[in-house]
Amino acid sequence: MNRFLIAAAAGIFILGGCMETKQSDELIDKAAEGVKSMTAQVSEIVKGETLSHEKNGYGQGVNVDEQNRPTGALDFNAKYGSLGALAINEDDKRIELTFDQGYENGYTEKILDTLKEKNVRATFFLVGDYAEKNPELIKRMIEDGHILGNHTQSHPSMPTLSAEEIKSEIGTLHDYVKKHYGYEMKTLRPPMGEFSEFSLSETAKAGYTTKLWSFAYKDWLTDDQPDPEYARQKLIDGAHEGAIYLLHSVSSTNAQVLGDVIDGIREKGFEFYELK
């Protein structure tokens, strides 16, 4: 049966005496070798051995489609969605607010107050140091109904790591948060938005979805904060269906304008994920 399948796959049809048995055997053997080679290649792809390790730096870009959606985010989804990664929620019209929690600068409590007042659920991406040093804030995030995301244990460039190192960076923080807060994280944002096909694949193997963003602006320099009115308008103007906003909680401007931004985006007809 196997020899027949191989022969059929190779396009060989043995009819009566039109082909010598020796010749047909040789062709079948060659087809078998081809099938064996193909199987090995597929196996390597499944194991991730042929996935690229090339470092990519993500940015949503400035080009948008007719729905104001950044084409860079849409292109990312199309290219890397099969590796469990996304930069925009194409199957959901709601807007998602996310905050990267690199360190605490005194504004997270005010941000949480505003989110609760406006009934908006956000995702907070934690690094290991933040998870260890800010238990009360993290407990409140959970109690208020927000989502905790994994930003790795030590904030490395993911495409520079081996499979075991990626597993450790994700798993160490995952286990800590589960043990100390009873919360199991499922979403990862790679530090600095850097990734490779291999790192995305390894992240998926760890049971995580990689989530980047479709809106971001320069808000992380604490000694060079954007003007509040500029930030307010830029954040509102950037709204689009399925948007994933990347914000930093170290920003005094973000804490100041967040309530007005939520109201302004809602006035444009958009909605957010709500607290549960």
User: Residue 33 has what pLDDT?
Assistant: 54
Q: Whole-number mean pLDDT of the chain?
A: 88
> Rounded to two decimals, what is the model's pTM?
0.82
Taking only the tens place, the pLDDT of each residue in 24-51 is 455 445 444 543 443 334 344 444 458 9
CB neighbours of 125 closer than 8 A, spacing ≥ 6?
Answer: 98, 99, 100, 101, 149, 150, 151, 187, 188, 189
Q: Answer yes or no: do 39 and 167 share one domain.
A: no
Q: State the sign of the Cα–Cα–Cα–Cα dihedral 146, 215, 174, 133.
A: negative
Among the listed residues 146, 151, 240, 248, the single catalytic one is: 248
Looking at residues 207-214, what average pLDDT do you find? Answer: 98
Q: State the sign of the Cα–Cα–Cα–Cα dihedral 166, 206, 273, 66.
A: positive
Taking only the tens place, the pLDDT of each residue in 256-276 is 999 999 999 999 999 999 998
Task: Show the domain range for 76.
Answer: 57-267
Neighbour tally for 62: CB within 10 Å:
8
Q: Which two tokens stand for residue 135?
A: 């238990």
CB 180 within 8 A of CB 173: no
Among the listed residues 65, 100, 227, 260, the single catalytic one is: 100
The answer to whether residue 276 is domain-embedded is no
User: Does 227 qualify as catalytic in the annotation?
Assistant: no
Q: Answer yes or no: do 80 and 196 share one domain.
A: yes
Q: Answer yes or no: do 13 and 145 share one domain.
A: no
CA distance 115 to 121: 7
Q: Answer yes or no: do 144 and 75 share one domain.
A: yes
CB 184 within 8 A of CB 150: no
User: Residue 49 has what pLDDT?
Assistant: 56
Q: Answer yes or no: do 99 and 9 share one domain.
A: no
Residue 15: pLDDT band (50, 70, 90) is very low
Structural domain count of the chain: 2
The answer to whether residue 247 is domain-embedded is yes
User: Does 248 qualify as catalytic in the annotation?
Assistant: yes
The answer to whether residue 210 is domain-embedded is yes
CA distance 27 to 84: 41
